[in-house]
Amino acid sequence: MIYFDVLSGLYQKNIKYLMVGGMSVNLYGIPRVTQDLDIIISTEKEKEFRKKLLTDEI
């Protein structure tokens, strides 16, 4: 599942993120028919994130 790959990549690279939207609501047990993943990425280390994004696959 691509969701796992994305979240796993962010976690492995120690990038702080927050999952929001329909998918996060599903995790709380409120059913929503959605297949998109909405993520907010912390800008605390924006330069580091951009470098990781350009040099490695997240």
User: What is the reported pTM?
Assistant: 0.58
The string of pLDDT tens digits covering residues 6-50 is 888 888 888 888 888 877 777 777 777 877 778 888 877 777 777
The DSSP 8-state label assigned to residue 58 in this structure reads -
User: For the chain, how many structural domains are there in total?
Assistant: 1
Take residue 54 and report the two structure tokens written for it: 């350009």
Q: What is the mean pLDDT of residues 51-55?
A: 74
Distance from C-alpha of 37 to C-alpha of 19, rounded to nearest angstrom: 7
Half-sphere exposure of 54 (CA within 13 A, CB side): 6
User: Is the torsion defined by CA of 29, 30, 32, 36 positive or negative?
Assistant: negative
- Give me the domain span that covers residue 35: 2-55
> What pLDDT sits at residue 54?
75
